[in-house]
Amino acid sequence: MMGRLDNKVAVITGAASGMGRSAAVRFAGEGAAVVVADLNEDGGAATVRECKENGGRAVFQKTDVAVETDIKALIARALSEFGRLDITFNNAGFVGTLGPLEEISAESWDSTHAVLLRGVFFGIKHSIPAMRQGGGSIISTASIAGMRGGFGPTIYSAAKAGVINLTQCAAVELAKDRIRVNCICPGGIDTPIGGRRSQRTADVLAQSQPIKRAGQPDDIAKMALFLASDESEWITGTAMVVDGGFMARAQSFGPRSGSEWTSAVGFMGPSFQLR
């Protein structure tokens, strides 16, 4: 039986857990060879095992998406290991800096954007030469928080808005090379991005949108698979909303003012580093 990604090669950042892991396993099961990229080596190794158990080929590449040389090495690994690159899924992310604008330092702004926006830029930039001959699909994880104010922490939301616009600009520029560029805007997904998952978190998420269940990593992986496959060959420059109807109802999580996002202060890094 033919897979939807037979003979394609994909790199996926942030693939040690959550949406990235689900996408990697699903891609592998549909015939793709996958380079699993993350800072979390244990989680990355577990993803590689799951990909292989699902009948696919996969290798792990330790990658900090905020470091350009790491992204260059990631793309080079795909080419050396599997001979080509067809799909790049810029998925790595974290919450980043929290707090009122007047209390956020330039360093916190920069470190948040380095992962959430600059890392996407690097992923697009270094995929272009590898995809130019045969075309390809570049997918990035944005967020509904980037579409309207009050749906997420301020700096996180600003970075995700940048991902949406960068997606549109890159799609226009790269269409001549048959490189499609799209992003996915998840709603409330039950992943470890903000720390340990809990039933309480899932219950809150389940009540936040018309479809009364929390979003799951595989909901995003299914959209990523569609955008990676030839089924979406005439789709580029889009921000695909996958949110259980949240944006259709257009209300924010929790307090309607969005003040919950400025009541906490600090910095939330990758979930596997939280203790």
User: Would you please indicate which residues are annotated as catalytic (active-site) residues?
Assistant: 156
Which of 139, 140, 147 has its CA nearest to residue 116? 140
Cβ-count burial of 197 within 10 angstroms (0-12 exposed, 13-18 middle, 19+ buried)?
Answer: middle
Contact 180, 233 (CB under 8 A): yes
DSSP letters of 116-129?
IIIHHHHHHHHHHH
| Contact (CB, 8 A) for 233 and 179 | no
197 sits in the region (left: phi over 0; alpha: psi -120 to 50; else beta) called beta
Write out the E strands in 96-242. Answer: 96-98, 136-141, 179-186, 239-242
- For residues 57 and 48, give the distance between their C-alpha atoms in angstroms, rounded to a whole number: 8
Q: Rounded distance, CA 244 to CA 135, Å?
A: 32
Nearest in space to 103 (alpha carbons), one of 261, 257, 258: 261
Contact between 12 and 27 under an 8 Å Cβ cutoff? The reply is: yes
The count of residues in the chain is 275
Q: Are 112 and 156 in contact (CB under 8 A)?
A: yes
Sequence letter at residue 17:
S
